[in-house]
Structure formats: structure tokens, C-alpha cells
Chains A and B, each alone.
Chain A
């Protein structure tokens, strides 16, 4: 183990994360034991124990993992190895483990696993290793051992109900600013706020109003051109993101999801359309709803990929000229492996781009961006490790020869940009919305007249 530790440090330096290194100083094996046993009793250990007892330690999941492949097949990075270094000893010792063990377990669970579930597809028994890793995170959260940056986003969720400490006046102001901003592109655009009974409540993640407000403007152009009856809520619940889900803070996750669903119900919206984000979709469609005791979301939820697919198929938006530059498509785990939108994403890509080149492997077999699962949210101290641990993605993208990578997910978008930079691939990431606004046909009534000086 000591050798492996040294090898890691040589690669990305010694990483000091105050959120992990400080809290363990206050832990004792007795405290840890108490917390773990309480956690297991409350969340139930049925699936955990069944998965762990069924695992025959065959290692056939290894090649499913991008971190294993990218770190030169270092055996400590295989999915089963991550379980071996975390949950096996926890269950075997009935929760009595050392604070140092928890530090290492937290590093593995928060920064070496993206919860992408690719390994579940490669395990002969279909063991859900992401679920096991999320359970490790839950335990770490209850012990107060969470990466500092990730914890900050969870705090933000808890205080403001959004991920980025955005205040309500900032939020409303951003919407109105974007409405103003897109007047240069289309005539009399509207971004309705709190419109009751709209067909669609559109929701975004906190970082959009915080520092990517242009995306909200782009979507508004598409909505106006397509003649959609839509709205944003002015109140809490507009943010669909959920880092508490990834920090292991289920209670905050539940509050945030409830606020989101209730915003749609309060506005009597017929459905929620969410922006190009993956983890938010997972939290609404798969995880958060279950915590709230809902088998499926109480309001129909569709992801932007499906929304654009429907708009294009129904001819509600038309394309003037397809996007010329060659593109490749990154399949975000949470909506492709998580919701099977692979075919729709290809329909949209082919409809708007001239030269589409597939990555290999793709669709539900695609490799994760290594930013998802809250890993990118663990902050810049972990960036180098994240970049090194996804060489396989860089190779996969490079092989396409396309200069543009479409990434219909925020985490993928930023994470892949990091990988491009590190491996000097000379590529760029784009959202569907960014391409769409460039090539969409603006109907006569929306055309902006000649600008007057």
C-alpha cells in the first residue's frame, strides 16, 4: 500500500483537502463505529450486504472503469478495488475502522468514483458499485468528512436552495437581463416569470445564473422561436441541481428536490424541462424522488436532449444551415446510461450538424467524463488527479478528429474542457443550445430590423 501511495503522490502531488484532513483529527474508532452502525441501521444494509456477499472477487469490472484504464491499469483503481478499500472492511469490522481509513475511503468515494455505473454493466452479477460508493459517501458525510468545495455547494443548497449562493433578486435580475440581452437577436422576446399553467417550467442549475447566463438567453431564443408556453419560477425551486445528493447529505437533497417539484406544482406547470445537465436529471428522476417516497417524479420531467429532439421532429424549430465543423458527441452518463437518451441525442446531432463522428465506444457504453458524480465539485485541488485519471477519454475524443465535442451536460462540459486542456487536444466543448442558436431559422415576426446608429 505504501508503494501505491507513493506512486500516486508522484503523479498528482500530495493533495490536502481541509474538508477531509481536518475532521478526521476529531474522530476515534469508537465514534466511527457508532455513526456507521446507526447509518447502516437507518438506511438499511440489505442491498449493500447482498452485493458484497455476492461479489466473487473476479475483477471483471476493472476494464469498465476509466480511472483504472487511465492510471495504467493500477489495480487499486478498479471498481471492485474501490469497494475492497472501503465497504468490505467497514462491513467486516462492523464499522470499527480508523480515522485514517475514513480519510482514504472518502478520497476514493468522492474523487475516484463518478457514480457512472458503467461497471454495473460489466459485472456478471450486476453489482451496483456506484450504490456502494454512494453509501460510503453517506457514511463520510455523517462523520463530517466531505471535500471542502463539495461541502460548500451543499451548504449553499441548504441556505439558498440553490447550488451557487444565488439570491432571489439576483435570480430575477438575471432573467430580466437575459431577456434584454437577446433583444439583439430576436424581436420582442419574453421570458415569462411565475406564469401559471404554462406548458413548461424550465429549470436550470445554479451555475447558469451565476456565471453562464448566456445559456439562459440561448434557451429563451429557442423557446420564443418555437412558440413555447413556458415560465421560470421567481422563487426557490428554480434550481434543479443537487450536490447534496453527491455529498451524502440526503436530508438536504430531499428538501431541494421537494422545493423543485413544488415550484412546478405551484405554477401548475404541465411538465418540467431541464437544461443540459446530467446529475440534476439523476437527482430528479432517479434518486431525489425515491428519498421523498415517490416512485417517479410527481410532474413529468424531460431533459433538454429530449426537448430539442421533440422540437426538431415536430418541426417547431427549423435549421437554416447545418453546423459545418466536424463534431463528436459525448454521452453524459446520467441521461444516456441513466435515461436512454442516446438515440435522441444522435437524432439531434444529425439534424443540426453536417459532419458527426461517433466516439468509440458510445451510447450507454461510453466512458464517463470523470467530472460527474460531484468529482469536479471537489474543487481545483483535485483537478490534476481528475485529468490524469481520464486519459482514456482524451484518446477516445482524439481518435474522432473532430474539433468540437458536444456535451449536453454541465459537468461533462467543464470536465471535458479540462481534459482537452491537459492533453492539448485543441478541441472545444459545446452545448446543443450553443449550436442551435447559431443555426436556427428566425421567423419573420422575430427578425430584428436594421440596427440604427
Chain B
């Protein structure tokens, strides 16, 4: 198994065609999901006439800023972990030096990168945040009651690319080549999962927030944060 993982053919495959497939599914799937979501909302007729740019932005801004809403202020620990987790989850892979080298090698493009030490810390933040969320799911009764097996799967999908990335970088547990291949596979799995699992909140969350913000601001004349 390990030898298979380490074979150059496998590396070439996950680093080559599979990346293309991943991005195609991720981008195509996301566009498809957004398109069907928006057109189904249009069909309902009572959504778009009530949308307001001003109140959408007001709502999104209050919720995207840590402690910007009443509920964020009520749960300081969850707020800090949630924000750190999402910031690190999104920005670490984009600004990681080794990822930049990869797309420089492939397409000749690169941009600003994170110092390696910082990237390491950010990776660990994602890893430990996942552990925090896992324990919260198990311990907090109001979360446990609404936890489906898929919630653990989603958590694993977020956890594994970062965990294996960390191990690969520090050359722990498995030979570097094998760990790197696992890391790439898990990363690809995450991107593919985004449009087809509840990680879709990454795309839909903005719209639900904007809609509720509009209803609360424009129709109900109150705050929703």
C-alpha cells in the first residue's frame, strides 16, 4: 500500500489530471449550486423584491466581524475559535509557500506568501479547532442532539488536509512522499465536497444572511445582529 502510494505514477496522477478534475467539479459544481439556488428563490417571488443592498451589507458586516453581533459577544470562546478556524482554513492554503511554488511550476504564477512559521501555526489552529468542534459536538447537548454522522464527516474533510499537510511538512509518521500524496488527495476531496455537502454554507451563507438582513432592515426595521 505504502509503496503504491509512493509510486511516481500515483504522484503524477494526483498532481496532474486529478487537480484538473477537482477544480472542474469544484468550480462547475459551485456555479451549478448557486444558479439553481438563485433561480429557485426567484421562483418563490417573495424573496427578491425584498432584497436590499444596504441592509444585506449591514447584516453581513456585523456577522463577519468578530464580536460584531449579540450572539458572537455571548459566546466569546466559540467566536474566537470560529473566526480563527475559518480565516486559517481559507487563507493558509492560498498563501502557503509550497502551494505557490506548485502553481508557479505549473502556470508560472505566484503571489505573496506566508512566512513558513506562521503558516505552521495557522495549520495547527485549524487542526486544534477541529478537535474543539469535535468535542463540542459530543459534549454540548444542544449540539449533540442535532449532530448527524455527516457532521463528523464534514469535520474530517476539513481536518485531514491540514493534519496531513502538517505531518508532511515536518516529515512525520509516513515517508514524505506518501504523506504528501495523502495530503493532496484530502485537499482535493475537500474542494470536491464543498458544493455537494453542507460545506456549501461557504457559498450560501452570504445569501441567507443578506436575505434575512434585508427582511429585518427594510421590512421589520430592526437589527438582525
Seen from chain A, the residues whose Cβ lies within 8 Å of a Cβ on chain B are 43-47, 49-51, 53-60, 62-64, 68, 73, 75-76, 78, 80-81, 84, 120-128, 286, 290, 293, 295, 336-340, 342, 363-365
Q: Which of A50, A121, A363 has the most chain B CB atoms closer than 10 A to its own CB?
A: A50
* Residues from 54 to 105 in B contacting A, C-beta threshold 8 Å: 59, 63, 69-71, 74-75, 78
CB <8 Å contact, B78 and A60? yes
| Cβ distance B102 to chain A, nearest Cβ, rounded Å | 30
- Report if B37 contacts A (CB, 8 A): yes
What A residues does B37 contact at CB under 8 A? Answer: 46, 50
- Report if B151 contacts A (CB, 8 A): yes
Interface string of B9-52 (1 = CB under 8 A from A): 00000000000000000000000000001001111111101100
CB <8 Å contact, A56 and B222? no
Select which of B145, B154, B201, B212 is within 8 A of A128 by beta carbon.
Answer: B212
CB <8 Å contact, B224 and A120? yes
What A residues does B75 contact at CB under 8 A? Answer: 60
| Cβ distance A303 to chain B, nearest Cβ, rounded Å | 12
Interface of B is mostly: helix
Distance between Cα atoms of A128 and B69 in the complex (Å): 17
Seen from chain B, the residues whose Cβ lies within 8 Å of a Cβ on chain A are 37, 40-47, 49-50, 59, 63, 69-71, 74-75, 78, 140-148, 151, 154, 198, 200-201, 204-205, 207-209, 211-213, 215-216, 219-225
What A residues does B209 contact at CB under 8 A? Answer: 124-126
Given contacts A44-B40, A75-B144, contact A122 B205 (CB under 8 A): no
Given contacts A57-B147, A75-B145, A290-B46, contact A122 B221 (CB under 8 A): no
CB <8 Å contact, A53 and B204? yes
Interchain Cβ contacts under 8 Å between A and B, 23 examples: A44-B40, A44-B43, A44-B44, A46-B40, A46-B42, A46-B43, A46-B47, A47-B44, A53-B204, A54-B204, A58-B143, A59-B143, A75-B146, A76-B145, A84-B146, A124-B63, A124-B209, A125-B205, A126-B59, A126-B208, A128-B215, A293-B45, A340-B220
CB <8 Å contact, B151 and A127? no
CB <8 Å contact, B221 and A340? yes
CB <8 Å contact, B221 and A81? no
| Cβ distance B42 to chain A, nearest Cβ, rounded Å | 8
Distance between Cα atoms of A339 and B221 in the complex (Å): 6
Given contacts A57-B148, A78-B145, contact A63 B74 (CB under 8 A): yes
Distance between Cα atoms of A45 and B37 in the complex (Å): 10
CB <8 Å contact, B219 and A286? yes
Apart from A63-B74, A126-B224: 14 A-B pairs, beta carbons within 8 A: A43-B44, A53-B201, A56-B154, A57-B143, A59-B145, A75-B142, A120-B212, A120-B224, A125-B212, A126-B59, A128-B215, A286-B219, A295-B49, A336-B222
What B residues does A128 contact at CB under 8 A? Answer: 211-212, 215
CB <8 Å contact, A337 and B222? yes
What A residues does B212 contact at CB under 8 A? Answer: 120, 125-128
| Cβ distance B66 to chain A, nearest Cβ, rounded Å | 12
| Cβ distance A106 to chain B, nearest Cβ, rounded Å | 20
What A residues does B47 contact at CB under 8 A? Answer: 46-47
What B residues does A60 contact at CB under 8 A? Answer: 71, 75, 78
Distance between Cα atoms of A336 and B223 in the complex (Å): 11
Distance between Cα atoms of A363 and B223 in the complex (Å): 10
CB <8 Å contact, A122 and B40? no
Distance between Cα atoms of A49 and B43 in the complex (Å): 13
CB <8 Å contact, A78 and B146? yes
Q: Which of A120, A126, A293, A363 has the most chain B CB atoms closer than 10 A to its own CB?
A: A126
What A residues does B215 contact at CB under 8 A? Answer: 128
| Cβ distance B31 to chain A, nearest Cβ, rounded Å | 16
Task: Tell me the nearest residue of chain A to B211, going by C-beta.
Answer: A126
What B residues does A124 contact at CB under 8 A? Answer: 63, 69, 71, 205, 209
CB <8 Å contact, A340 and B222? yes
CB <8 Å contact, B78 and A54? no
Distance between Cα atoms of A327 and B74 in the complex (Å): 28
Distance between Cα atoms of A295 and B37 in the complex (Å): 22
What B residues does A121 contact at CB under 8 A? Answer: 70-71, 216, 223-225
Given contacts A50-B41, A73-B142, A125-B201, contact A339 B70 (CB under 8 A): no
Given contacts A75-B141, A121-B224, A286-B219, contact A46 B41 (CB under 8 A): yes
Select which of A53, A63, A127 is within 8 A of B198 by beta carbon.
Answer: A53
Distance between Cα atoms of A125 and B219 in the complex (Å): 18
Q: Which 3 pairs between the two chains have the least Cβ-Cβ distance?
A: A340-B221, A126-B212, A46-B40
What B residues does A364 contact at CB under 8 A? Answer: 222-223
CB <8 Å contact, A57 and B49? no
What A residues does B213 contact at CB under 8 A? Answer: 126
CB <8 Å contact, B198 and A56? yes
Distance between Cα atoms of A44 and B40 in the complex (Å): 7
What B residues does A64 contact at CB under 8 A? Answer: 71
What B residues does A290 contact at CB under 8 A? Answer: 46
Task: Tell me the nearest residue of chain A to B213, going by C-beta.
Answer: A126
CB <8 Å contact, B205 and A54? yes
Distance between Cα atoms of A363 and B221 in the complex (Å): 12
| Cβ distance B193 to chain A, nearest Cβ, rounded Å | 13
Distance between Cα atoms of A120 and B215 in the complex (Å): 11
Distance between Cα atoms of A174 and B41 in the complex (Å): 46
